[in-house]
Amino acid sequence: MKRSFVIVLAMMWVGGTVMAEQSRPQFTKENRFPDLEQVELGTIVQHNELGERKGVLDSSDANELVVEPFVRYRAFENVTFLASLPYVDVDPDMGEGASGLGDASVGLEWHAYENISGYPYIIPHVTGVLDTGDEKDGTGLGESRFKFGVTLGTVRWDDWSINGDVSYTFFDDSENILSGALSLLWSVSEDFSWLVEGIVTDEDVVDSADAPAFGQFGLSYHPDGRFQFTATGGAGKNQRRDVSATLKMSYNL
C-alpha cells in the first residue's frame, strides 16, 4: 500500500483553478470542489435492500439504512481532503438486527489537470477505509482497505458532462477489487441536472459467472451557491445491493 501511495503522488501534477461547487455523481469524481481553504459539509442517507451474499454467515435478505456525514476541505489549490463516518442499521428478514458505526474513510482528490476551458480534466483520488464497523453485525466489512482511482471527465454540447473512472481497491486479507464506472450528467438549467451512472466490478459476491454491476438514475438540485441536493435510485445484479435509494445533501460554508 505504501508503494502504491508513492506512485499516486508521483503521478500528480499542478492543474488549474475550479469553481466552488459540490460534486454530483457517486461512482466517479467531478471537477467541483470547495473554495480554497473552505469546507463543504454534507450527509448521505441511503436505504438498501440487500440480497444473500456469498461467504457471509447466516446471510439473508435484509434492509439497510446508512446515514453518512462527510466533510471536504480544499487545503491547497489542487488538493481536496475528505472524510466520512457512517452509521449503519441492518434489519435482516431472518435473525436479529444490528446497528452501529460503519467503516470510516479518509482520502484526497487531486485536480491534476484541466484544459483552459475547464475540460477535459483528470482527477486521481486516494481513499483509506478503516475497520471501524462490526463484521459480525453487518455494519462493516471486517478489514481495512485502500482505494486508488483516476477519473477522466469532459463536457459535450455545453450541457452534457461525461465522467469515466477506473479504481483498484487493496484489501488486507480478501481479494483485491477492480472497478470501472461511467457517469452521464445533463444540466437542464443552472439549478437542475439529471444523472445516469453505473459501475461494474470483478468482486466475487454471489455464485455467478457474471460481473457484479449497479446502475442508478437521479436528479440534482442546486438552489444557490451553497446548498445542493441529489436524489438517486438504482438496482444491482450479482452484488450486495439489490435496490437502493440515496439522498445526498451538502452545504458550502
Rounded to an integer, the average pLDDT of 212-217 is: 95
Residue 3: pLDDT band with limits 50, 70, 90: very low
List, in sequence order, every residue forming a beta bridge with 202; answer none if it has no partner: none
Residue 18: pLDDT band with limits 50, 70, 90: very low
Q: Please give the model's pTM, rounded to 2 decimal places.
A: 0.85
Model confidence at 10: pLDDT above 50: no
Rounded to an integer, the average pLDDT of 31-48 is: 95
Residue 8: name the closest of 152, 144, 148 by CA.
Answer: 148
Domain ranges of the chain: 2-252
State the pLDDT at residue 16: 41
User: What is the Cβ-side half-sphere exposure of residue 246, based on CA atoms within 13 angstroms?
Assistant: 24
CATH fold for the domain made of 2-252: Lipocalin (2.40.128)
State the pLDDT at residue 95: 74
Residue 252: pLDDT band with limits 50, 70, 90: very high
Amino acid in the structure at residue 124: P
- In angstroms, the CA 53 to CA 239 distance is 8
Model confidence at 210: pLDDT above 80: no
- In angstroms, the CA 151 to CA 163 distance is 7
Say if CB 68 and CB 85 are below 8 A apart: yes
State the pLDDT at residue 19: 53
> 62: which 3 cell numbers?
435484509
Residue 41: name the closest of 78, 85, 6 by CA.
Answer: 85
Torsion-angle region of 132 (φ positive above 0: left; ψ -120 to 50: alpha; else: beta): alpha
pLDDT, tens digit (0-9, with 9 covering 90-100), for 149-171 = 999 999 998 899 999 999 999 99
Give the rounded percent of residues in the chain with a pLDDT score beyond 90: 65
State the pLDDT at residue 174: 85
pLDDT, tens digit (0-9, with 9 covering 90-100), for 132-144 = 999 888 888 889 9
Q: How far is CA 98 from the centre of its chain?
A: 24
Say if CB 57 and CB 96 are below 8 A apart: no
pLDDT, tens digit (0-9, with 9 covering 90-100), for 217-238 = 999 999 887 899 999 999 998 8
pLDDT, tens digit (0-9, with 9 covering 90-100), for 58-103 = 456 889 999 999 999 999 999 999 999 999 999 888 778 889 999 9
**Number of continuous H segments (helices) and E segments (strands) in the chain:** 1, 15
